[in-house]
Amino acid sequence: MSDMLVPLYRLPKENEPSTDFSIRRALAPEKSIILTWVKDHFGQGWSDECDVAFSNAPVTCYIAIQDEKLIGFACYDATMKNFFGPTGVKEDARGLGAGKALLLRCFHSMKEAGYGYGIIGGAGPVEFYEHTLGAIAIPNSKPGIYAGMLRSTPTSANS
């Protein structure tokens, strides 16, 4: 998966707040709840990246909430400065616009922080980022910063 580039000087405007969910910056006291949720829904690696977002001030993680429950999250400045991700919306809440709202909130926040461009690291659904942001793939960016990254393997009795 290649990285993708997003020009922050022509970001789409954020939508009006939805009646289905709300988006806000995560609070430090919510860290354990959010990291556990991310681990349960998207795995340890993304939870670890999210943990780094909580070490920034202000916290560089936004969350989507529906009926007082977490339905999605998005981070930036986690694995690399200027990188967006990880992000995820729980399966039964997809298609409501929360993924796009989180994405736009993070990129507008990056612009406010002084960045001119944002990078989506190892972009997953490329069409989602092309469609919502006009992001373009960065040539020769695969595997990029993730080259040689350790991956968890199933534990064996002798390891």
Ligand X SMILES: CC(C)(COP(=O)(O)OP(=O)(O)OC[C@H]1O[C@@H](n2cnc3c(N)ncnc32)[C@H](O)[C@@H]1OP(=O)(O)O)[C@@H](O)C(=O)NCCC(=O)NCCS
| β pairing state of 117-120 and 83-89 | parallel
Q: Which is nearer to ligand X, 10 or 157 (CB)?
A: 10
Q: Which is nearer to ligand X, 19 or 155 (CB)?
A: 19
Span near ligand X by CB under 6 A; candidates 22-30, 109-117, 121-129, 133-141: 121-129
Say if residues 135 and 11 touch (Cβ distance below 8 Å).
no
Instruction: Say whether residue 124 binds ligand X (CB under 6 A).
Output: yes
- Single out the residue of 91, 96, 37 nearest to residue 63, CA to CA: 37
Q: Which is nearer to ligand X, 41 or 156 (CB)?
A: 41
Instruction: Say whether residue 78 binds ligand X (CB under 6 A).
Output: no
Alpha-carbon distance of 129 to 48, in angstroms, equals: 23
Instruction: Say whether residue 115 binds ligand X (CB under 6 A).
Output: no
Instruction: Kindly state the smallest distance separating residue 6's Cβ from ligand X, in Å.
Output: 12
Q: Which is nearer to ligand X, 47 or 87 (CB)?
A: 87
Tokens of 107: 């990129």
Residue among 80, 96, 113, 136 that touches ligand X (CB under 6 A): 96
Catalog residues that contact ligand X under the rule CB under 6 A.
Answer: 85-89, 94-100, 123-125, 127-128, 131-132
